[in-house]
Amino acid sequence: MSTAAPAPAARLRRIAGKLLSAVLVLLVAASITFFVQLLLPGDRATVILNIRNGRDQQWPAEEIAAINHQFGFDRPLIVQYLDYLAGLLRGDLGTSYTEFRPVTAVIGAQLLPTVVLTVGALVVAWLIAVTVTLLTVRRGRILGGIGAAFEAFTASLPHYWVGMLLLVAFAVQIPIFPVIGGDTPAGTVLPVLTLAVPLSGFLGQVLREEFHKVLDQPFITTARTRGMSDAAVRLRHALRHAVLPGITLSGWALGALVSGSVIAESIYGRPGIGQVLVTAVNNRDVPTVAGIVLVVAAVYIVANVLVDLAYTLVDPRLRIS
């Protein structure tokens, strides 16, 4: 039971293990995106020519052959697969069917605005959730009920609805913010809120439930018997315990935020990978879609490793096991 401080070697091994499994997950994710591209119904070269020319017809053999050669479809599948993986290592996500240039170039500059949007939303959501919970949990039936109802309602709101509502309210009816804001600071406020409001409801529910559990724990009673005030008990003891499950969920939430950013970017005409993605899906530009999905998966995996490490900072118990 009484162990000394955990050996740093064990901690390093744990982190190394996490990274290794992250790389494996990424490899499988890449394989999935590769094979999904093969599912495209019909001959791929024909599909590409149809997409590029906006027609639906049979194409002469030499044009088909040219496309097959250009994209390497004439090579054996396994070679294509290994080539794809090797390309990934060099940072090559393949070639767009429609834009005649590498997918990385298509995505490139669009990544940063989306990262700003999602991270901003995550921070704002946490701020809202912690504030609402701290102010309302166990503050009597009415206040607690209002807090819980607010969270339950906002948590079920679809992103597009929040987005349109904010747009109509604060850009059209009361024009505080621009309707199409690009990636300017003023234009970022409404998209961030669009993503943050539903997430804050979700995090708030988790936080509230945990707070309820924690406030019933004997160590909270112990703190009170030492003469601590209610506010101090909440901030110094309860909060730290209550945020733990929320932190784990934040990794998951990043995924939901990326989904939401596709919608928010579409509503506010904000540059970002969401915009590129919707255009690509409309054009059935599968390599671009697959490339974006893979990049998001990679970001998600890295973010979850980070969340994992953040968790051990807040909860030292995990450093041992």
Q: Which stretch binds other proteins (CB under 8 A): 72-80, 108-116, 181-189, 252-260?
A: 252-260
In Å, how far are 82, 139, 219, 232, 263 from 236, measured between CA atoms?
Answer: 54, 18, 12, 6, 38
User: Is-contact 170 194, C-beta < 8 A?
Assistant: no
* Residue 90 binding other proteins, by CB under 8 A: no
Interface with other proteins (CB under 8 A), residue from 85, 240, 269, 306 = 240
Residues of span 138-167 touching other proteins by CB under 8 A: 152-153, 155-161, 164-165, 167
CB 100 → other proteins: shortest distance, Å? 18
End-to-end CA, the chain? 12
Residues of span 218-237 touching other proteins by CB under 8 A: 218-219, 221-229, 232, 237
Which residues face 102 on adjacent strands? 95
Region at 137 (left for phi over 0; alpha for psi -120 to 50; beta for the rest):
beta
CB 106 → other proteins: shortest distance, Å? 14
Residues of span 188-217 touching other proteins by CB under 8 A: 217
Rounded CA gap, 200 and 219, in Å?
A: 28
Residues of span 165-184 touching other proteins by CB under 8 A: 165, 167-168, 172, 179
CB 227 → other proteins: shortest distance, Å? 4
**Residue 159's Cα: distance from chain center in Å?**
14
Residues of span 280-319 touching other proteins by CB under 8 A: 280-282, 284-286, 289-290, 292-293, 296-298, 300-301, 314-317
Q: Is 77 helix (H, G, I), strand (E, B) or coil?
A: helix
